[in-house]
């Protein structure tokens, strides 16, 4: 059975009113001007904390043995290298200056220098305040010499003066790193930094 459906026509004035209403709702703002950009807060940029400042023309006196306490921790080994962490504490009453990267040495039981690690090029001088605690990672490898008079002792050279580093021998007696090729022993230190944690 076929059912015919008859639709009632919508009067023209009603259609015109609906069209005007749709256009009004689609306009950006009531005034017709586009909305301004939304203000979004800028992400905060972290400010790096300086380890120390470069000495302005040697304002602070060079650090001496009396100003510092130096010690190293456990000597470890991996992949033919020997490692330790060297700690520095400024125990003097006043600010003093020192190289940002330490120059280090190893001396044997007779006092003879058997290795030295000096950074290349000109090194900035930093001023350190009383109570400052810093550390540097020490690496020693490629020992191709005859067995020296052990134990070896680590030292730091500041203003042409060798300061002893307590903590016992480095590396441990009988633990000299193996020879990995020509070039002699390699002794290196990382820049002074604030300990983490």
CA distance 64 to 98: 9
Q: For 31, what's the count of Cα atoms within 13 Å in the CB-facing half-sphere? A: 4
Name the nearest CA neighbour of 52 among 127, 122, 158, 134.
127
Q: With beta carbons less than 8 A apart as the criterion, state whether 88 and 192 touch.
A: yes
Secondary structure of residue 72 in the 3-state scheme: strand
Instruction: Look at residue 157 and give its three-state secondary structure.
Output: strand
Q: What is the pLDDT of residue 78?
A: 83
Query: Which phi and psi angles does 91 have, rounded to 5°?
Result: -105, -10
Domain boundaries defined on the chain: 58-189
What are 12's two structure tokens?
């023209």
Neighbours of 82 (CB within 10 A): 21
CATH number assigned to the domain covering 58-189: 2.60.40
Could you tell me which residues come within 8 angstroms of residue 193 by beta carbon, excluding any fewer than 6 positions away?
51, 134, 135, 136
pLDDT of residue 58: 54
Full pLDDT tens readout for the chain, 197 residues: 333 433 344 443 443 343 333 334 444 444 444 444 333 334 333 333 334 444 444 578 989 989 999 999 999 988 899 999 999 999 999 999 999 999 999 999 999 999 999 998 888 999 999 999 999 999 999 999 988 899 999 999 988 889 999 999 999 999 999 999 888 899 999 999 999 86
């Amino acid at each position: 059975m076929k059912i015919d459906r008859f639709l009632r026509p919508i009067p023209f004035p009603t259609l015109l009113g609906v069209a005007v209403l749709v256009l009004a709702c689609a306009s950006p703002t009531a005034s017709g001007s586009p909305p301004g950009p939304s203000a979004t807060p800028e992400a905060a940029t972290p400010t790096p904390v300086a380890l120390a400042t470069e000495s302005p023309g040697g304002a602070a006196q060079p650090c001496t043995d009396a100003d510092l306490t130096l010690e190293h921790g456990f000597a470890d080994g991996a992949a033919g290298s020997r490692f330790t962490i060297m700690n520095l504490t400024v125990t003097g009453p006043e600010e003093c200056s020192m190289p940002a990267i330490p120059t280090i040495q190893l001396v044997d039981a007779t006092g003879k220098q058997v290795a030295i690690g000096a950074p290349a090029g000109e090194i900035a001088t930093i001023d350190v305040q009383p109570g400052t605690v810093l550390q540097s990672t020490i690496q020693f490898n490629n020992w191709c010499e005859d067995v020296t008079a052990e134990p070896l002792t680590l030292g730091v050279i500041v203003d042409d003066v060798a300061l002893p580093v307590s903590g016992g021998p480095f590396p441990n007696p009988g633990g000299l790193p193996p020879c990995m090729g020509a070039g002699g022993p390699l002794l290196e230190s990382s820049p002074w930094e604030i300990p983490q944690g």
